[in-house]
């Protein structure tokens, strides 16, 4: 069954939330990692509840509510969220309380809000949605798992529409632990995408889509298909998987107008990205993690970018990786991986396809 | 399309496998007691369903290579035991007849609430930041390691929806099979006991210092536990071509949300009612055909009142025999629905109604009583398993013999 993106919303380190400015300028962070530009949450969440909420909850609630408003819907038929690390701030907060107070007289608020499905549960509360409500947490494939579940829900008509999203937050402490653990660079390079040092530049974001099977004039894009490849033996096997994916969709490499690459600044991951980018040497190639950073659900932002490009038929200069042009961006392929495993392909198209 | 259960594996404080668990149910022997392994100041204060084997003992049992030791959290180790047994039970074996890839792509859909927190909380507190806990902390880590241990290369993912996680893993797995995205899925959940959850539930003041008393009017709270439970689900087509031994079908399922409160269930159990009725509808059976219910039954004031109200709404005052096996294992959080799916399948396979411990007097106004004795030799055609969690998350699964 065809699935269409009816609306999309993203709170990100760029001016994306309810913004008409489609990544015209690339804002650079003042730290060694990316943090979100936060909207005025009071306009979306009552101030009493807002006070106790961590950023990831605020971002998730606000982005999802705005996404629903854009779609002109009060309630979705299901809510499916992906989050690699869940509620990082509250998890760290409760853990630190346990340590510093020697397991005594602990305040339960941080514990309650540390649960991975806090955001999806809070969205259900906010929207009064009693339908299916899932949270996937599979590292860098968390959003992809949620998206797959959403497509299956729509396909078997278990839900008429699905609110699907990817959320992850970063706090100072998690950044320093990522650096210590060798997952992130201590210092950001001037040119992230061509970096020769190991480790990505971390970031965060909350991105939501309202999906349904109905093609409307205002629909943004169509989700054609997706493929998750958890492990494979090198670039050649991955290329074979990619070929099979394209064949399954009745297209060839030449049909892809735009490749959205998940390049993230980690020198160790670059070869695999370059390998797939080379397959699409005649297509427009774009990247986005130099604008929002790397995080477990960054591919949700990539999907937001792809749907925006298709809808506007415009590729912002800030995301271009090569000089190719196409008159009409009809088919877009997203490619992501995490340190040479956990690969994903998502295929989007315009409404005429 | 029929989805068959062809293998089960379980590890908890009442047994490291299906047979040991069955023996504990027969003997009415709960696995709740003193905390001996987890390093907490609350050791003598709370009873828990802890598996009294150290991580090293678990690694020896699993014969994992020494170079893997530092990468394996307790969550991962417990998951390996149950998932391995589920594979062996389903006959997923390599050419040499021992555990391994039999050439049929198999997906793994696991569930956990805290992932590698057991390692994180030790190493973070002691400042041992080089121990690798940053890599083992995410929920998905245990799933990746279990898949690697079993030699599975297919799709794998992890659900984390609090105490209903394991049921939602089974639901996602069923969707994969229905859509031909997978022919065979190992699905369930795992969680290790941790200071994080013990202190979390203590801060919420919902831990019983004594043995929990699910569905008793004087119930005081839950006991935590740890463990893992996995079932192997196969498509009709694969069952036919492989000649798999079938235990039962996963005939119905539903996940709903209360949209009532972040941690509490609504008094009338609206979402629990919705989950059960929708699962029945999918199953194509009426409420009266359910022969046994493995309830969520945590033993907290709120859960049992809410779930009880929902049970009466669905079944009337004549609720079929039901029990909370959490009175044996403790509440194993993300693993709970995995364990209880295995117990539900056992109930069908062996014709059992499993017992509930700690029950004396029914909850006022409800007037329903769990089954307190092990009953054997019955015909159990349909079993309902309930799992509810924080965030208003409610799931019901129905297993059917035919």
Residue B355 sits in the same domain as residue B220: no
* Chain B positions in Cβ-Cβ contact with residue A181 (cut-off 8 Å): 129, 132, 134-135
Residue B86 sits in the same domain as residue B67: yes
* Chain B positions in Cβ-Cβ contact with residue A148 (cut-off 8 Å): 181
- Cα A178 to Cα A32, A129, A348: the distances in Å are 12, 36, 32
Residue B288 sits in the same domain as residue B231: no
Residue B155 sits in the same domain as residue B209: yes
Residue B222 sits in the same domain as residue B155: yes
B345 Cα distance to chain centroid: 12
Per-residue DSSP letter, A17? T
pLDDT attached to residue A224: 98
The alpha-carbon gap from B40 to the nearest alpha carbon of chain A, in Å, equals: 8
pLDDT at A163 over 90: yes
Residue B176 sits in the same domain as residue B207: yes
Q: Which residues of B104-143 are buried (b: 16+ CB within 10 A; e: fewer)?
A: eebbbbbbbbbbbbbbbbbbbeeeeeebbbbbbbbbbbbb
Domain of B217: which CATH number? 3.40.47.10
B375-382 average pLDDT score: 98
Terminal C-alpha separation, chain A: 13
Residue B268 sits in the same domain as residue B212: no
Q: Does B134 touch chain A (CB under 8 A)?
A: yes
Instruction: Decide if B154 and A230 are in contact by the 8 Å CB cutoff.
Output: yes
- 8 A C-beta contact, residue B103 and residue B154: no
Choose among A79, A137, A149: nearest Cβ to B140: A137
- 8 A C-beta contact, residue A167 and residue A205: yes
pLDDT attached to residue A242: 98
Choose among B141, B155, B199: nearest Cβ to A228: B155
Q: For an interface test with B, give the residue of A116, A140, A150 to mutate (most B CBs within 10 A).
A: A116
Residue B143 sits in the same domain as residue B286: no
Domain boundary among B193, B218, B242: B242
Instruction: Decide if A117 and B161 are in contact by the 8 Å CB cutoff.
Output: yes
Structure confidence at residue B263 as a pLDDT band (50, 70, 90): confident
- 8 A C-beta contact, residue A229 and residue A238: yes
Instruction: Decide if B391 and A145 are in contact by the 8 Å CB cutoff.
Output: no
pLDDT attached to residue B70: 87
Instruction: Tell me the CATH number of domain A3-212, given options 3.30.450.20, 3.40.47.10, 3.40.50.10440, 3.20.20.370.
Output: 3.40.47.10
Share of chain B above pLDDT 90, in %: 90
Element (H, E) at A306: helix A298-312
Higher pLDDT, B177 or B365: B177
Domain boundary among B213, B242, B271: B242
Structure confidence at residue A205 as a pLDDT band (50, 70, 90): very high
Q: Does B259 touch chain A (CB under 8 A)?
A: yes
pLDDT attached to residue A213: 97
Q: Does B157 touch chain A (CB under 8 A)?
A: yes
The nearest alpha carbon in chain A to B120 belongs to A95
Per-residue pLDDT of B274-326, as tens digits, reads 999 999 999 999 999 999 999 999 999 999 999 999 999 999 999 999 999 99
Instruction: Please report the sign of the dihedral spanned by the C-alpha atoms of residue B73, residue B229, residue B164, residue B108.
Output: positive
Choose among B137, B159, B202: nearest Cβ to A135: B159
Per-residue pLDDT of B43-72, as tens digits, reads 999 999 999 999 999 999 999 999 988 899
Per-residue pLDDT of B128-159, as tens digits, reads 988 899 999 999 999 999 999 999 989 999 99
The domain defined by A223-349 folds into Peroxisomal Thiolase; Chain A, domain 1 (3.40.47)
Average pLDDT over chain B reads 96
Average pLDDT over chain A reads 96
Residue B235 sits in the same domain as residue B315: no
Q: Does B160 touch chain A (CB under 8 A)?
A: yes
Residue B289 sits in the same domain as residue B194: no
Residue-range definition of the domain harbouring residue B140: 3-242
* Chain A positions in Cβ-Cβ contact with residue B390 (cut-off 8 Å): 112, 115, 117-118, 121
Choose among B139, B179, B389: nearest Cβ to A155: B179
pLDDT attached to residue A1: 83
Residue A22 CB contacts under 8 Å (≥ 6 apart), including other chains: A308, A312, A314, A316
Share of chain B above pLDDT 70, in %: 100
Choose among B157, B172, B389: nearest Cβ to A141: B157
Instruction: Decide if B257 and A79 are in contact by the 8 Å CB cutoff.
Output: yes
pLDDT attached to residue A296: 98
Instruction: Decide if B196 and A296 are in contact by the 8 Å CB cutoff.
Output: no
A74-102 average pLDDT score: 97
Choose among B181, B196, B203: nearest Cβ to A95: B196
- Whole-angstrom distance, CA of residue B75 vs CA of residue B63: 16
Whether the full predicted model's pTM is greater than 0.95, yes or no, is yes
* Chain A positions in Cβ-Cβ contact with residue B202 (cut-off 8 Å): 106
Residue B229 sits in the same domain as residue B261: no
Per-residue pLDDT of A241-268, as tens digits, reads 999 999 999 999 999 999 999 999 999 9
Q: What domain count does chain B have?
A: 2
- 8 A C-beta contact, residue B245 and residue B389: no
Residues forming CATH 3.40.47.10 domain(s) in chain A? 3-212, 223-349
Tell whether ipTM is more than 0.95: yes
Instruction: Decide if A155 and B199 are in contact by the 8 Å CB cutoff.
Output: no
A302-327 average pLDDT score: 97
pLDDT attached to residue B1: 86
Instruction: Decide if B262 and A118 are in contact by the 8 Å CB cutoff.
Output: yes
Per-residue pLDDT of B97-110, as tens digits, reads 677 778 899 999 99
Tokens 């309830």 found at: B295
pLDDT attached to residue B230: 98
The nearest alpha carbon in chain B to A145 belongs to B157
Instruction: Decide if A230 and B143 are in contact by the 8 Å CB cutoff.
Output: no
Domain boundary among B190, B207, B242: B242
The alpha-carbon gap from A196 to the nearest alpha carbon of chain B, in Å, equals: 22
The residues of B carrying an active-site annotation are 163, 296, 331
pLDDT attached to residue B169: 98
**Whose CA is closest to A184, among A261, A262, A268?**
A268
Per-residue pLDDT of B68-93, as tens digits, reads 888 999 999 999 999 999 999 999 98
Residue B175 sits in the same domain as residue B316: no
Q: What's the 3-state SS for chain B?
A: CCEEEEEEEEEECCECCHHHHHHHHHHCCCCCECCCCCCCCCCCCCCEECCCCCHHHHHHHHCCCHHHHHHCCHHHHHHHHHHHHHHHHHCCECCCCCECCCCCCCEEEEECCCCCHHHHHHHHHCCCCCCCHHHHCCHHHHHHHHHHHHCCCCCEEEECCHHHHHHHHHHHHHHHHHCCCCCEEEEEEEECCCHHHHHHHHHCCCECCCCCCCCECCCCCECEECEEEEEEEEEHHHHHHHCCCCCEEEEEEEEEECCCCCCCCCCCCHHHHHHHHHHHHHHCCCHHHCCEEECCCCCCHHHHHHHHHHHHHHHCCCCCCEECCHHHHCECHHHHHHHHHHHHHHHHHHCCECCCCCCCCECCCCCCCCCCCCECCCCCCEEEEEEEECCCEEEEEEEECC
A47-72 average pLDDT score: 96
pLDDT attached to residue B99: 76
């Amino acid at each position: 069954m065809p699935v269409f993106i009816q609306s999309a919303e993203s709170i990100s380190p760029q001016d994306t939330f309810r913004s008409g400015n489609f990544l015209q300028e690339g804002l650079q962070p003042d730290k060694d990692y990316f943090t979100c530009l936060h909207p005025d949450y009071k306009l979306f969440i009552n101030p009493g509840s807002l006070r106790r909420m961590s950023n990831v909850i605020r971002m998730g609630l606000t982005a999802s509510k705005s996404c629903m408003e854009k779609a002109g819907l009060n309630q979705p038929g299901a809510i499916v969220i992906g989050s690699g690390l869940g509620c990082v701030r509250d998890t760290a907060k409760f853990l630190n309380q346990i340590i510093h107070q020697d397991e005594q007289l602990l305040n339960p608020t941080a514990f309650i809000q540390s649960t991975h499905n806090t955001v999806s549960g809070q969205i259900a509360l906010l929207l009064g949605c009693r339908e299916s409500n899932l949270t996937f947490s599979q590292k860098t494939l968390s959003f992809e798992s949620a998206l797959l579940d959403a497509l299956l829900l729509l396909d078997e008509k278990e839900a008429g529409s699905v609110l699907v999203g990817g959320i992850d937050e970063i706090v100072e402490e998690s950044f320093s632990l990522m650096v210590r653990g060798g997952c992130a660079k201590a210092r950001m390079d001037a040119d992230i995408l061509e970096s020769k040092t190991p480790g990505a530049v971390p970031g965060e974001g909350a991105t939501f889509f309202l999906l349904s099977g109905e093609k409307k004039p205002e629909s943004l894009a169509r989700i054609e298909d997706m493929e998750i490849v958890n492990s494979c033996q090198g670039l050649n096997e991955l290329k074979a998987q990619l070929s099979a994916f394209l064949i399954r969709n009745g297209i060839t490499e030449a049909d892809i107008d735009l490749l959205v690459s998940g390049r993230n600044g980690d020198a160790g991951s670059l070869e695999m990205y370059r390998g797939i980018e080379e397959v699409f040497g005649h297509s427009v190639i774009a990247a986005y993690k130099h604008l929002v950073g790397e995080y477990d659900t960054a591919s949700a932002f990539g999907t937001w970018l792809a749907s925006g490009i298709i809808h506007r038929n415009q590729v912002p200069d800030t995301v271009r990786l090569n000089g190719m042009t196409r008159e009409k961006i009809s088919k877009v392929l997203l490619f992501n991986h995490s340190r040479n495993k956990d690969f994903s392909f998502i295929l989007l198209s315009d409404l005429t396809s | 399309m029929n989805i068959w259960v062809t293998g089960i594996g379980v590890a908890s404080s009442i047994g490291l496998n299906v047979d040991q668990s069955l023996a504990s149910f027969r003997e009415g022997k709960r696995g709740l007691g003193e905390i001996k392994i987890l390093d907490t100041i609350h050791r003598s204060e709370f009873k828990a369903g802890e598996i009294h084997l150290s991580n090293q003992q678990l690694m020896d049992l699993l014969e994992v290579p020494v170079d893997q030791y530092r990468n394996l959290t307790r969550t991962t180790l417990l998951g390996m035991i149950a998932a391995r047994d589920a594979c062996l039970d389903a006959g997923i074996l390599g050419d040499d007849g021992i555990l391994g890839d039999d050439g049929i792509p198999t997906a793994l859909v696991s569930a956990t609430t805290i992932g590698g927190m057991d390692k994180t909380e030790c190493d973070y507190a002691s400042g041992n930041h080089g121990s690798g806990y940053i890599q083992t902390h995410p929920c998905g880590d245990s799933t990746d390691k279990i898949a690697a241990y079993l030699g599975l290369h297919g799709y794998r993912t992890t659900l984390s929806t609090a105490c209903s996680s394991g049921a939602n893993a089974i639901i996602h797995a069923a969707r994969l099979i229905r859509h031909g995205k997978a022919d065979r899925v190992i699905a369930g959940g795992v969680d290790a006991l941790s200071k994080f959850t013990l202190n979390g539930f203590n801060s919420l003041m919902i831990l019983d210092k004594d043995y929990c008393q699910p569905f008793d009017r004087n119930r005081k709270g839950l006991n935590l536990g740890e463990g893992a439970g996995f079932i192997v689900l196969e498509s009709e087509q694969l069952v036919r071509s492989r000649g798999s031994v079938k235990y039962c079908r996963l005939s119905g399922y539903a996940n709903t949300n209360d949209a009532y409160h972040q941690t509490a269930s609504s008094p009338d159990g609206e979402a629990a009612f919705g989950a059960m009725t929708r699962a029945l509808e999918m199953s194509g059976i009426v409420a009266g055909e359910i022969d046994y219910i493995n309830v969520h039954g945590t033993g907290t004031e709120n859960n049992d009142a809410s779930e009880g109200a929902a049970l009466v709404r669905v079944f009337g005052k004549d609720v079929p025999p039901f029990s909370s096996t959490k009175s044996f294992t403790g509440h194993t959080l993300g693993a709970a629905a995995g364990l209880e799916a295995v117990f539900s399948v056992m109930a069908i396979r062996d014709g059992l109604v499993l017992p509930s411990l700690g029950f004396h007097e029914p909850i006022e106004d409800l007037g329903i009583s769990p089954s307190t004795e092990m009953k054997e030799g019955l015909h159990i055609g349909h079993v309902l398993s309930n799992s509810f969690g924080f965030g208003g998350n409610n799931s019901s699964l129905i297993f059917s013999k035919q």
